[in-house]
Structure 1
Amino acid sequence: MKTFLIIIGALLFLFVGAQIYFYKSSNNIEGYQYDVLTSFEGFEVRKYEASLFTTVKLDTDKYKQASGKGFSILGGYIFGKNGRQERMSMTSPVAMTLADKMTMSFLVPQGLTKKNLPKPDNINIKFLEVPEKKMAAITFSGWASDAKIKKYKEQLIQLLDKNNIKYTSNFSVLGYNPPYELFFRRNEIVVELD
């Protein structure tokens, strides 16, 4: 029994250590740059830099289905399924539009442009240049799901209406953590402002 408890304790120690390592490592990943313009109770208004994204449109509005399929396609591209079999750095966050047909987007690492990116093997992958824009963001923790996304989108709408902030219908969910990070997960609902 004592040996069993020692083994369980050692495994638990290794698991917690790995999660802390993963968390610290993900903080070093290149991210979608923004400045906070105003902090309100419950949300922020931010100005995001003009950026380039790889995108793929998905035939669903269900988060779990779209995230699995989209990550497989875009992850494949950055991990070498491209004309040069070139690997690229992972960036953060993974963005998904909230629409009847979701679009998943990965930020293109700095230094790469439409001209020097390798050609995707998958013809459904497109490159999208996004101009500088203002967005409102609400943050939530844990694993994203359709229910949580709906809840926080509604909360953000209520907060924007309460503060008389005009917004568009362009809502997205942002996920900041890789799937193997089980703790300290961060997600956001963002919307482009008028």
Structure 2
Amino acid sequence: MGTIVFGQKIGQIPLIFAAIRRPLLPKQSTVWGNNPSAHSKLTIRSSLVGQSAPKGGSTCKLQELLNFLYDDLPHLFDEQGIDPSMYDDRVLFCDPITRHDTIDGYLFNIRLLKLLFSPDFQLHRVWQTGPYEITTRWTMVMKFALLPWKPELVFTGVSIMGVNPRTWKFCSHVDRWDSIENNEYFSLEGLLDVVRQLRIYKTPNLETPDYQILKRTSNYEILVRAFLPKAPSFAKVRKYASFVVVQSKGDKLSGSSGFNDVAGYIFGKNSTMERIPMTTPVFTQASDYELSQVSIQIVLPRNKDLHNLPSPTSDAISLRKVDGGIAGVIKFSGRPTEDIIRIKEAQLRSALIQAGLHPAGGCMLARYNDPERTWSFIMRNEVLIWLNEFSLD
């Protein structure tokens, strides 16, 4: 959670992430932050999974199971649901904070999540990682309906699916989250990861650019707590669709110089005097490593493009299409001062480089708030850095 070719460079990428079917691969893929093969000796898995490699027709059966997961898992939380006949009665399900050892418990957990969170499950990839082991990579976005502010919880990771060679059904399902180090049940780190995502962020009920979260980590949080002890950060990798902005020259990332010009355009100061709906966030973008060449931008509604927008009547503003792509993102609350923004940018860039990624120069600050009407402690701010290439292995 369009096509991504794994292990190759990514150029412009449409928003929709389609699963790619492929033959069994001889190599085992490395997952950023979690290597499925490193967990091949988990005691909670069935001993049947560790038997010798399948031969002949068994390989065909594994391919059939791969295809089955591509078809079945997208129905995890919809009305159709998954096909329970492909799981052993004594299937073991385990994630950092939940454990069940029967198919009934497994299905109960799915129903409970569906009731409380209305999850959006996005399947990215399915591949073989052992003789009787299949691994999936996914994103799950959930809104907790019981809290008035309906916080959004995001998890990305892998599921390691053990296959019983006697029944050719799944006998175990072990989830590993990208956002924590200790994935063994019961993980206090995992529980804290859930709790901290329940905090309040104020996000206006306005249209935003389309994006999909590909990977969420939290390994930058320790670094920023020294500066914002009450505002933990959450780091993500997102895939954005293209969008159009109206922009003007700004003075600094935390500033508002030029905002009245771009706001005037959407409020009717254009060639046709058309009023255009407001969106969120407001971007300020620095295009250089020194963060000195700044523009301020308002994203225009997704039903608008450069061909059906009225022309600006001021030389101070311009229209521009922003190509879709992959961005590293860090989220924080509080009033975004210039010092804090630069600290966030440096921390995010350092973490992306340490992860083997290739961040582009400059950054963007996304502000989702009305600064005159939003309390600072619930302000939602993000620093984004575009990535030159990315592979979701």
TM-score (norm 2): 0.41
- Of 26, 40, 44, the match for 2:236: 44
Q: Percent identity?
A: 28
Determine whether 1:85 maps to 2:273.
yes
Q: Mean Cα displacement is larger for which, 79-88 or 135-144?
A: 79-88
Measure, in 1, the Cα distance between the counterparts of 2:266 and 2:337. 25
Deviation per residue, 1:82-106 (Å, 9 max, x gap): 1222211111111111232211111
| 2:283 counterpart of 1:95 | yes
Q: What is the CA deviation profile of residues 107-152 of structure 1, one whole-angstrom value per residue up to 9, with x for unaligned ones?
A: 1112222122122221221111111100000011011110111111
**Structure 1: how far apart are the matches of 2:358 and 2:201?**
36
User: Is 2:208 the partner of 1:31?
Assistant: yes
1:116 corresponds to which letter in structure 2?
N
Determine helix, strand or coil for the equivalent of 1:76: helix
The alpha-carbon deviation at position 25 of structure 1 amounts to 9.2
SS in 2 for 1:31: coil
Relative distance call for 1:48 and 1:126 in structure 2 (3 A) is same
Residue 346 of structure 2 corresponds to residue 158 of structure 1: no
Alpha carbons of 1:82 and 1:167: their partners in 2 closer, same or farther (altered >3 Å)? same
Instruction: List gaps (5 residues or longer) in structure 1.
Output: 1-19
Judging by fraction of residues, say which structure has more helix. Answer: 1
Higher strand share: 1
| Aligned residue pair count | 169
Distance in structure 1 (CA, Å) of the matches to 2:324 and 2:270: 28
SS in structure 2 at match of 1:97: strand
Task: Out of 23-32 and 149-158, give the one that drifted further.
Answer: 23-32
Which moved further from structure 2: 160-169 or 46-55? 160-169
Q: What is the rounded CA distance, in whole Å, between the counterparts of 1:25 and 1:40 in structure 2?
A: 22
Amino acid at match of 2:208: G
Separation of aligned partners in 1, 2:347 and 2:339: 12
Task: Give the equivalent residue in structure 2 for 1:63.
Answer: 254
Alignment check: 8 A CA contact 2:353 2:359 kept: no
Report the equivalent of 2:334: 142
| C-alpha distance in 2 between matches for 1:110 and 1:166 | 28
* 2:325 aligned partner: 133
Q: Deviations over 1:35-67 (max 9, x none)?
A: 001111241111000111111123x33632xx1
TM-score (norm 1): 0.79
Cα-Cα RMSD: 2.1
Q: Which residue of 2 aligns with 1:180?
A: 372
Cα offset, 1:164, TM superposition: 1.9
